[in-house]
Structure 1
Amino acid sequence: ISQGIIFVSLLIFLLVGSLNGRQRTFVSDTVENKTVVEKSVTDYLASKFNTMVIPSLYCIVLLIGLPANALALLILITKTKITPSTIFLINLTLADLFFILLLPLKISYHFLGSNWLFGEALCRIYIASFYGSITCSVFLLMSISIDKYFAIVYPMFSRSFRNRSKATFGAIVIWILALFSIFPFLLSQQTLYISDVNITSCHDILPREEQNSYYFHYFLFLVILGFIVPFLVIIFCYISIIWTLSMNARSQFRAKMLSTLVTITFLLCFMPSNVVLVIHYSEFHASNHSDLYVSYMVCLVLSAFNTCIDPFVYYYISDEFRDKVR
């Protein structure tokens, strides 16, 4: 099952990556000290899809993800034995909760027609935190798969280093890496006032020169480090786990279920947005500026829904967590 998912996913990645791209964010030009954007851009920003559908989907994420992750965190901290795996799960829950608590800002922004009312500084912090929490969650999902890999494939060998102190250190390193990964957002302007429609965008519309240079290497770095590497590591770990447990039919079934669940979750939530980034920067100068942006908004919602799915993943990953829920 998992091998088939891997093959189909990689095939989709290659096919989509070969399509003629558009771009991930809108761009603006400056003419006589006035910010100029295309009419199709302003039409989209005022559309019902952007001002109603997108924020409504984020509201669903907020309503489901907040109580689910709060309950998961409570159970993990108070009712489960603190193991290396539990430490990574606790940090994953914290990253998801941090992301969810930021959503009211994004929801209000979209309901107001992509009009940011909270200033440049908070826009930078919000965008950096938005992407940083996603990056942190991806790294933690990868760490959970690595921990399971050593626990099952090399149980005796891993006893010497699979302990709470090492897991805590690993979690701290992940948070630091996620923090460093968001610095480009903190160091560059993210808001832009569009006088034609009297709104201030937050990250949605960026100067063309920044799109061409500043973000090119940065988003390429994020795609490689924040998706491709974790994806390959997760696939390797769970295939190895299935292979190791193949002699036990019951264990093999559970391992396949776990591998399939985590792989599908990872691909559905994080692959689309990263594919869009690859397409965007492979052919930046395409003429149509808006069609791929709509796709990217949907992809970001998919990434957000990962915070709702994670607590249910815990149910399959942790026997003790499952027992406490019961």
Structure 2
Amino acid sequence: MNDSIDCNPRADFQIYLFPVVYCLVLVLGFLGNMGALYVFIFKTPCSSSNVYIINLALADTIFLCTLPFRIHYHLKGNDWVFGALACHIIGTLFFTNIYISIAFLTCICIDRYIATVHPHAYLRLRNTRCTQGVSLAVWTVAGVAMLAFILAGPLDSAPTPGHHSHRSCFENFSQREWETRMTAYNACALVFGSLVPLSVIMVCYPLVARRIARIRTGTSRRALRIIHSILAITAICFLPYAVVHLLHLLMRRQVIQNCGFADAIYKARRLTMALVSLNSCLDPVLYYFTTSHCKWGFFRRLRLKRPRRVYTISS
């Protein structure tokens, strides 16, 4: 959730950056996630880890459904025309599904960690009821948080910097909002939505890598590829977003008051929001490494059959 302070920072490049990035993410992400849902639901045997993959693909798909509204908003010069309620719902879905994606990436990382480092315990825990329960808990917590946020009422936004007649949506919140609701919401999102899960991923990675260095099997190598994919997605998409989110919170609470820093944080916030959206089209790389059932054989079936050549012997 992104805003400005009295220094009135600006990031005019965002009206070009967001539509381009969001259109790219929408096309690639929709193809990748819909393909993953088809493969993991209909073409892959049900397993505990696949339950997390399906839920991650579903969260990404919901996130992608919000992008057409965000694209229209930015193409209109950050002017929201769909009404306050639609802004509240779309904005809440947009940001909440970022944290749902982080949660399920963390679940996959923990699943691979247990399977690799504690294989005997994993045999007892790998039933789908356990992963279904964890997945339900993630969606329940996210749903309750979203509902509480929406029922709390509309948010008061200041005019868009440089465009005072435009209607802001889920950005440029007034100082009064930051003194009441927004500080608590952002602090909770930062700690429980970013800091805790990202710390778990960073801890699991070296432990799994060290274990796999001693056991060289196909399963362990695939687990390492999965962990590498999660680490890459975390480093590219979520880590910069979390760091700038912290700085943004400090700026809004006026811990950081230097106008030069405020302007840099405002611009960095826009860049990291574009980066975090890439998660939805990078996750299919993770899906590819998760199971052999969706490797090249799946894509070969999409190729047109080549007509056979018929040779005749002239007399």
Question: Which residue is equivalent to 1:201?
Answer: 168
- In structure 2, stretches of 5+ residues that fail to align are 300-315
Question: Which residue is equivalent to 2:4?
Answer: 26
Tell me the distance in 1 between the aligned counterparts of 2:98 and 2:136: 16
Change beyond 3 A, Cα 1:26–1:218: same
Q: 1:58·1:103 contact (CA, 8 Å) conserved in 2?
A: yes
Q: More displaced, 250-259 or 171-180? A: 250-259
Match of 2:246 among 278, 281, 293: 278
Question: Which residue is equivalent to 1:71?
Answer: 35
Match of 2:44 among 80, 85, 91: 80
Structure 2: which amino acid aligns with 1:271? Answer: L
How big is the alpha-carbon RMSD for the aligned residues of Structure 1 and Structure 2? 2.4
Question: Which residue is equivalent to 2:237?
Answer: 269
Q: How does 1:89-238 map to 2 (within 5 A)?
A: 89-183=53-147, 185-186=149-150, 187-190=152-155, 192=157, 194=159, 197-238=164-205
Once the two structures are TM-superposed, the CA of residue 129 in structure 1 deviates from its matched residue by 0.5
Structure 2: which amino acid aligns with 1:259? Answer: I
Once the two structures are TM-superposed, the CA of residue 287 in structure 1 deviates from its matched residue by 4.5
Tell me the distance in 1 between the aligned counterparts of 2:56 and 2:290: 13
Q: 1:150·1:158 contact (CA, 8 Å) conserved in 2?
A: yes
Question: Which residue is equivalent to 1:7?
Answer: none
Once the two structures are TM-superposed, the CA of residue 317 in structure 1 deviates from its matched residue by 2.4
**CA deviation string 1:142-170 (max 9, x = no partner):** 11111112222222222223211111111
Structure 1: which amino acid aligns with 2:290? Answer: I
Change beyond 3 A, Cα 1:192–1:218: closer
Structure 2: which amino acid aligns with 1:72? Answer: A
Structure 2: which amino acid aligns with 1:240? Answer: L
- In structure 1, stretches of 5+ residues that fail to align are 1-22, 29-36
Change beyond 3 A, Cα 1:303–1:55: same
Change beyond 3 A, Cα 1:255–1:81: closer
TM-score after normalising by structure 2: 0.83
Name which structure has the greater RCO, CA cutoff 8 Å, separation 6+: 1
Q: More displaced, 272-281 or 89-98? A: 272-281
**CA deviation string 1:155-208 (max 9, x = no partner):** 222222321111111111111122233356422423647497422111222111
Structure 1: which amino acid aligns with 2:129? Answer: S
The answer as to 2:209 corresponding to 1:242 is yes
Tell me the distance in 1 between the aligned counterparts of 2:73 and 2:166: 11
The answer as to 2:282 corresponding to 1:315 is no
TM-score after normalising by structure 1: 0.81
Q: 2:109·2:227 contact (CA, 8 Å) conserved in 1?
A: no
Once the two structures are TM-superposed, the CA of residue 273 in structure 1 deviates from its matched residue by 1.6
Tell me the distance in 1 between the aligned counterparts of 2:226 and 2:274: 24
Tell me the distance in 1 between the aligned counterparts of 2:140 and 2:274: 25
**CA deviation string 1:292-324 (max 9, x = no partner):** 222111111111100000011111222333365
Structure 1: which amino acid aligns with 2:26? Answer: L
Structure 2: which amino acid aligns with 1:226? Answer: G
Q: More displaced, 266-275 or 101-110? A: 266-275
Larger Rg belongs to = 2
More strand by percentage: 1
Tell me the distance in 1 between the aligned counterparts of 2:297 and 2:187: 42
Once the two structures are TM-superposed, the CA of residue 140 in structure 1 deviates from its matched residue by 0.5
Q: How many residues align?
A: 290
